[in-house]
Amino acid sequence: MDTVKIGKYIAGKRKDLGMTQRQLAEKLGVSDKSVSKWERGICLPDVSLYSELCRILGISLNEFFAGEDIPRENMILKSEENLIGVTADSTQKQKHLKTIIRILLLVSVLMLSVFGVFVYQKIRPQNYLAPAAKDSSEMEIVKLLAGPDGAYIYTFAASEKYKRLILYISEYRSGVLENKEKMELLLEDTDPSRKGEILIVPDFSRFVVRTVIASDGSKLSADIPVLENVTDRGYYGRSAVGIGEKTNIRYDEEQALLALIYDNDEMRIVDIDDFMNGQTDALSENDYAYFFSFKFAKE
């Protein structure tokens, strides 16, 4: 995120309202020095202040992160960019932290023996997909951007070369597979080391699931419809189950990611692996389920 651009945007909106830094600070319960730091791009406000700050300035959260006014027709695209940007910032911070930790570990290991360095390099995870930490400040921002249905963010790192990242979407009705589609991100045959994100953002108000795959500057997005042609769908309950920890990437193999479940009376939560194992008896008690799985394909 461009903190300088955001700071100038805050300052401009404040001045448009004829408000001083002190007046804005009093409304937010902070010091005018804090407001001054925001507007100079030194830092951003605490996550807990975002919603109130946007309300006072009369802007949306997406406009806040973009640092500019956004026309209505560009709102969905900018929302995607902001979600990916927040996730990328989190990944970059984690990368810096890991770098510091690795340097400290390396120094310690070198003091013990060269063999220790060799062992560390061998056991370090290289190919994985993992959900974003729920208690991170970045995830809190994503929740605000995504809306009441939340968002499911997964980051991945792959050290082996692959050509396609495929996201499968399988629709089940009363435990029976009705349809299976896929999103396929094709990548150039370049550096084998790749990082990226998968974002799944349910929007029950529009009965779609916004799905985004991003890696090395490439991005693919789509709105997946849910509960099509269901007359009373506005009354359906909804839940989700997905992978809860870091998962090793098994190349050329379809792996479970997330299931969104919808039912109009009594909902039953199932194990995410039931979808992959074809165990659909438990699924039959739920009216609809949308199962997301992924594959890193080398060919």
Over residues 124-177, the pLDDT tens digits come to 557 899 998 777 776 777 777 767 778 898 999 888 888 889 999 999 998 888
Question: pLDDT category, 123, cuts 50, 70, 90?
Answer: low
Distance between CA atoms of residues 11 and 20, nearest Å = 9
Amino acid at 173: R
Residue 19, pLDDT score? 93
Rg, Å, the chain Cα set? 22
pLDDT on residue 299: 82
- Per-residue model confidence (pLDDT) at position 46: 87
Q: What is the pLDDT of residue 187?
A: 77
| pLDDT tens, residue by residue, 37-94 | 999 999 888 888 888 999 999 988 888 888 888 887 666 666 656 665 666 555 555 5
Highest mean pLDDT out of 126-135, 264-273, 287-296: 287-296
- Its pTM stands at 0.70
Q: Per the structure block, which two tokens stand in for 235? A: 């009354």
Average of per-residue pLDDT across 211-224: 86
pLDDT at residue 120 in the model: 47
Report how far apart the first and last C-alpha atoms of the chain are (Å, whole number).
35
Average pLDDT, the chain: 82
Check whether 285 has a pLDDT greater than 80.
Answer: no
* Phi, psi (rounded to 5 degrees) for 294: -135, 160
What's the whole-number mean pLDDT along residues 248-255?
A: 93
CA distances from 274 to 202, 255, 290 (A): 22, 12, 13
Binned at pLDDT 50, 70 and 90, residue 179 comes out as: very high
Q: Which residues contact 248 (CB under 8 A, 6 or more apart)?
A: 125, 127, 128
What proportion of the chain, given as a percentage, has pLDDT over 70? Answer: 78
Of these ranges, 9-23, 86-100, 276-290, the one predicted with the greatest mean pLDDT is 9-23
277 compared with 170, residue with greater pLDDT? 170
What confidence score (pLDDT) does residue 174 get? 87
Tokens describing residue 257 = 């990611």
Report pLDDT for 284: 79
- CATH architecture, domain defined by 3-70: Orthogonal Bundle (1.10)
